[in-house]
Structures are given as structure tokens and as C-alpha cells.
Structure 1
Amino acid sequence: MATKTGPQRYPGASRANWYQDDYPGDPMQVNVVVLHTTEGRSLPTYSGGSMAPNLTAVPDLGAKKLKWYQHFDIETSSRALANKRGGVETNTLNVTQVELVGTCDPKTHKKWTAAGQAHIYWPDAPDWALRSVARFLAWMHEEHGVALAGPKAWPAYPTSYADGGDQRMSFAEWKAFKGVCGHMHVPENDHGDPGAIDFSTLMKYAKAELDVDDGDDTPPQTAPKPTTPKPRVPAYPGRKYFRDGVAANAHVLQLGKQLVKRGFGDHYRVGPSRTWGEADRLNVRDFQKSRKELRGDADGYPGPLTWRLLFS
């Protein structure tokens, strides 16, 4: 039995569609993320959970953000891959699976567009969507050691479809693989998702989240020095401003705006305000849980370290 090595819930992810109680799965020590596309425009039912991944990312196109739903713990096997009897393990081979709501099929994209049905076509995903997926991958790298690397070939659908596609890994390649791949790379499967998603940009954004060197040995180009200084972390105003009963103030609004900017505003119904409330506390708690420096004291009330990490 594998030992769980990191936080099992992605900060801010909803558990409204939790399936692990009905389908317990197997414990794993994750070193792979598999990306899928749902080929639909809303959160799937997954046949009651019997075909569910670990997480689903649902676009809120108006707000330009992804709403995350978690169905299984990070290091518990989920059920979205074909896993043939007597073959190589897929769902249970150290894999966290993520479904991206939308399509990778150009024909479906054309049909939905003609019908006025809003959606994400993942080969041409908006920047905000790629950044949200990259933020998750950066978290998986930081918390579970999943390598920010993957296959070179991400062919467009339908070329990516079928078991015999050139990008499909052999059993030996799959067993040795560590990093991020697509459904179209997994053996024993014939699906072609997520198609020609912009994998290089995903990796660039994920590494930027962590300030990770991408290994490029090319000498840097000479560039003019910036004429404006880097923004400084605003001075910590003191914990007293972030307690129930304190009068409305600009510090609460400043904190809330930064939480939204960093992707931790899921508990706001409308948006941040000047009045401290439970939504603020829950959003701060989610941010604290996402940082190993803060996880032992994730009470939702920002201290000096929470403030510095949030604004830096």
C-alpha cells in the first residue's frame, strides 16, 4: 500500500460531487497527471461516479475562471481511463486525473460556435484557462513532486485518436513515465483528448508560478534596465483588521482583491468587499492550506507571513 505524501485536497475545490465514498479506489503515491477533455459543456455526471476522474475543471466564462470539483483524493485512484484486464495498470498506476470541461474536437467546436453555445476549445484555450490549469500543475509539483515535463507530441484531434496513434505510449514507456500527459498518451486507451492543447505554454506558466528554471542554457539577451521598480509588498496592517466585528476598511478589500488575483476567491458570491466576513476567512484558509509554510496554522486569519506570501 502506498503512503500518502502530500495534501489530498486541491485548495478551493468543491466536494459537492464527491465519489470516493461509493468508489473507494486504491491508495497511490502520485507521480503522473493525466489531462482529459469532457467533450461537453457542463460538469458531467460520470455515471454516478463510476467513470469519474480525481478532479474536474468547469469554466465560468463570464468570470474568466475555472471552478474546480474534486471527486477523489489526489492519491486515490479514480476511474476515467480504460484499464483492460491482464494488461498494464492505468487508473491505479500513480495517476491523478483531471477532466477539463470543453472540447478538443474541431468539428464539435465549429458546431457549438455556430449554435451560439459558449465553451472552451482547449487547443485554443484562453490565457486565463491555461493559467488556472498551470496553477494546479504547479501545486502538484510543489506538493507531490509531479515533474513539470511531458511528451513532445500533442497531435490535434482526430489524429490523436485510436490506440495505435504515434503519440500513444508503449507499456514500458507508460510504466517509466513521470510528469504530465494526456488521455491520448495512455496505453490501452483510444481516446484522443486533450488534443493539441498548448502544452509548452502550460509548462511555462506552471514554472513561472514556482519561479522554476526551465533549463534553457541560451545566454540571455541584453535588455534595458527596467525604468520602474518592482511593486513592493504592502505593509501588513495588523491582525485586528481581519476579525468579525471590525468596521469596514480598505485593508479587507485589498486582501480580497489579492486573493481573487491569486485564484483563491471561490467563496465570494459577488466579490470582495470592505467588510470582513466568513467568505474572506475561508478564502484565506484555502490559500494557507496551499502553502506548506502556513498549513500548520490554517485558521483563515492572515498574519504577517500569510500577508507577505500572498502579496509577494
Structure 2
Amino acid sequence: MSTKTGPQRYPGASRANWYQDDFGGDPMQVDVVVLHTTEGPTLPGYGGGSSAPNLTAVPDLAAKKLKWYQHFDVETSSRALVNLSGGVETNTQNVCQVELVGTCDPKTHKKWTTAGKAHIYWPDAPDWALQGVAAFLGWMHEEHGVPLVGAKSWPAYPTSYENGGGQRMTAAQWKAFKGVCGHMHVPENVHGDPGAIDFARIIKYAKADLDLDDDTPEATTPPAKPTVPAFPGRKYFVTGATNAHVLKLGKQLVKRGFGDHYKVGPSKSWGEADRLNVRDFQKSRPELRGDADGNPGPLTWRLLFT
């Protein structure tokens, strides 16, 4: 079983619909992102989490941005793919799954448009929506080494349903795949989402954000691991302590997606918000779940900075 290696929370993502505590999941070193479309106009309930992905991107049409909801850690298996008994692994095949709220079905798009129901039709998504997806993929590349490459064929729905476009991978291809694909590419599954999403443009935006050459092979190379600063000692992390180490820890918690308890941001003074954020990080790591007391020690420090 693989060990988690990168930040588990996408910065800014809400955990208002968090399902990992109820459904668990297997830890993985993610090297694949699977894109879905919800085929609905709002954040799904996912059966209380029983069929949820790792994250959902909900378009805020008025603000022209995606609002992200995180349901499972990035490197914990989620539940949005069919996994047949005795077949190839899907949900647990080192995959982070993302649902994009909206539709890839032209008939649904027409019906919603006629009814005046605001939505995103992902094959013709606006630039701001594609850039929002690109930003996430860029983060996955930087933090988890997911290659900014993908499946070659992205046929339109409904041709993409089952394997009408010939796009679905074989078991061997799926096991060897690293990069970004759609639900329609995963073996054992019949769904055809996200259809003819403009994958080339998404990757172009992701590489531009990272200042990468659009054709560079470095895009498939995992980033180097950062140097871990030495743990300064527990005496710096007690109530009322004010020092630069507290601020450094707080900034790293925010970077890793564990800043929910800060009201305005981290500071140099150790307080309850710091302790609660450290506790949340500790609870996310199997190595620390038995010692999730919010007090940073050498192991918490090392895992937080790697």
C-alpha cells in the first residue's frame, strides 16, 4: 500500500461536505486525475458520500469562478467509479477524482437552456471555468507530480458512452496510465463524461500558469521534494509563545490546506487556532492518527514540510 506524499487539501476548498470520516478509503500515491461531469446543475448529495469523488468544482456563474468542495483527501481513494469484482482496480488505482458540476450531454444542455436553467455545458465551457480546472491540475502537478498529459481521444457525448468512440482503456493501459483522463476512459465503466471537453486548452492554461513549455517533457517529471527544515523543539509551540517558528508552521498549514481555524491568517503567537489546524493535519495522516492532539512534534513537523 502506498504512503501519502503531498498536501492532502486543495487550498481554498470547502470541507462542508466531507465524507472521509464516514467512508474511509485507501491511502495512495496519486499519479492520475479522473475528470467527471455531474450531469446536474448543483452540488450533488452523492448518496451521503457513498458515491463521492475526492473533489467537486461548482461553477459560480455570477463571480465567474469555480468553488471547490473536498470530500476525501487527495491521496485517499474515493468512490465515483464502478469497480467490478475480480476486475482491474479503479477507485483505488492511485486516482484522484474530480466532478465538474454541469453537463456534457447536448440534449441536457438544450433542455436546460430552454428552461432558463443556468449551467455550464462543459464541451463549450467559458475560459474562466477551464482555467479553474487548469489551476487544479497545475497544483496536482506541482504537489503530487501528476503529469500534465492525458488521453488522446476525448469524443463527444453520447458517442463516448460505453466505448462508442473507442476511447476506453484496456486493463493493461489503465494500469500503466499516468496523467489526466475522463470517466469515459476508465475500464469497467460505461459513462461517457466529460465528453468533448477542451482538454488541450485546459493543459495549455495549466502549463502557462506554471511557466512550462507546452511541449516540454519536464511536464511529466515529478517535482523535487523540498528540503525539510529542522524541528525547532516543542517549547516554541505552547500557549502564549511568540516566535517565527509558529508563523512558519502556520503558513505551511495554510499552504497544505489546513488553515480552516484561522480567522484572518497565521501569526507568530501560538493559540487554539494553531492547535486545531495541527490536529486536523494529524488526523489526515495514518502515521499520526493515534496522536492527533494538535501539539506538533518531530514527526508532525517532518510530514507537514514534505
Given the two structures, how large is their TM-score scaled by the length of structure 1?
Answer: 0.70
Deviation of the 1:213 alpha carbon:
1.2
| 1:249-298 Cα shifts (integer Å, max 9, x gaps) | xxxxxxxxxxxxxxxxxxxxxxxxxxxxxxxxxxx96996169xxxxxx9
**What's 1:141 paired with?**
141
User: Is the Cα–Cα contact under 8 Å of residues 163 and 188 in structure 1 kept in the other structure?
Assistant: no
Q: Following superposition of structure 1 onto structure 2, how do residues 67-78 of structure 1 map, counting pairs within 5 Å?
A: 67-78=67-78
Q: Following superposition of structure 1 onto structure 2, how do residues 88-107 of structure 1 map, counting pairs within 5 Å?
A: 88-107=88-107
Matched residue type, 2:87: G
| 1:158-191 Cα shifts (integer Å, max 9, x gaps) | 0000146400000000000000000000000000
**What's 1:228 paired with?**
none
User: Is the Cα–Cα contact under 8 Å of residues 155 and 165 in structure 2 kept in the other structure?
Assistant: no
RMSD over equivalenced CA pairs, Å = 2.2
**What's 1:177 paired with?**
177
Corresponding residue pairs, total: 230
Q: Secondary structure of the residue that 2:68 maps to in structure 1? A: strand
| 1:82-114 Cα shifts (integer Å, max 9, x gaps) | 000000000000000000000000000000000
Q: What is the distance in 1 between the residues matched to 2:27 and 2:144? A: 14
Q: Secondary structure of the residue that 1:22 maps to in structure 2? A: helix
**What's 2:19 paired with?**
19
**What's 2:125 paired with?**
125
Matched residue type, 2:37: T
**What's 2:51 paired with?**
51
**What's 1:306 paired with?**
none
Q: Secondary structure of the residue that 1:136 maps to in structure 2? A: helix
Question: Cα–Cα, structure 1 residues 164 and 121, in superposed 2: closer, same or farther, change >3 Å?
Answer: closer
Matched residue type, 2:183: H
Q: What is the distance in 2 between the residues matched to 1:98 and 1:92? A: 14
User: Is the Cα–Cα contact under 8 Å of residues 12 and 286 in structure 1 kept in the other structure?
Assistant: no
Q: What is the distance in 2 between the residues matched to 1:288 and 1:19? A: 21
**What's 1:289 paired with?**
255
Deviation of the 1:30 alpha carbon:
0.2
Unpaired runs of at least 5, structure 1: 218-283, 292-297, 303-312
Deviation of the 1:155 alpha carbon:
0.3
Unpaired runs of at least 5, structure 2: 218-249, 258-263, 269-306
Deviation of the 1:300 alpha carbon:
4.0
**What's 2:246 paired with?**
none
Q: What is the distance in 2 between the residues matched to 1:288 and 1:17? A: 19
User: Is the Cα–Cα contact under 8 Å of residues 58 and 67 in structure 2 kept in the other structure?
Assistant: yes
| 1:12-59 Cα shifts (integer Å, max 9, x gaps) | 000000000011010100000000000000000000000000000001
Deviation of the 1:301 alpha carbon:
6.1
Q: What is the distance in 2 between the residues matched to 1:177 and 1:149? A: 10
Matched residue type, 1:289: K
User: Is the Cα–Cα contact under 8 Å of residues 140 and 146 in structure 2 kept in the other structure?
Assistant: yes
**What's 1:66 paired with?**
66
User: Is the Cα–Cα contact under 8 Å of residues 8 and 256 in structure 2 kept in the other structure?
Assistant: no
Question: Cα–Cα, structure 1 residues 216 and 27, in superposed 2: closer, same or farther, change >3 Å?
Answer: closer
Matched residue type, 1:81: L
Deviation of the 1:152 alpha carbon:
1.3
Deviation of the 1:151 alpha carbon:
1.1
Q: What is the distance in 1 between the residues matched to 2:72 and 2:207? A: 26
Q: Following superposition of structure 1 onto structure 2, how do residues 1-312 of structure 1 map, counting pairs within 5 Å?
A: 1-163=1-163, 165-215=165-215, 289=255, 300=266
Q: What is the distance in 2 between the residues matched to 1:161 and 1:12? A: 33
User: Is the Cα–Cα contact under 8 Å of residues 56 and 69 in structure 1 kept in the other structure?
Assistant: yes
| 1:203-258 Cα shifts (integer Å, max 9, x gaps) | 000001111112279xxxxxxxxxxxxxxxxxxxxxxxxxxxxxxxxxxxxxxxxx
Q: Secondary structure of the residue that 1:21 maps to in structure 2? A: helix
User: Is the Cα–Cα contact under 8 Å of residues 11 and 286 in structure 1 kept in the other structure?
Assistant: no
User: Is the Cα–Cα contact under 8 Å of residues 55 and 99 in structure 1 kept in the other structure?
Assistant: yes
Identity of aligned residues (%): 77
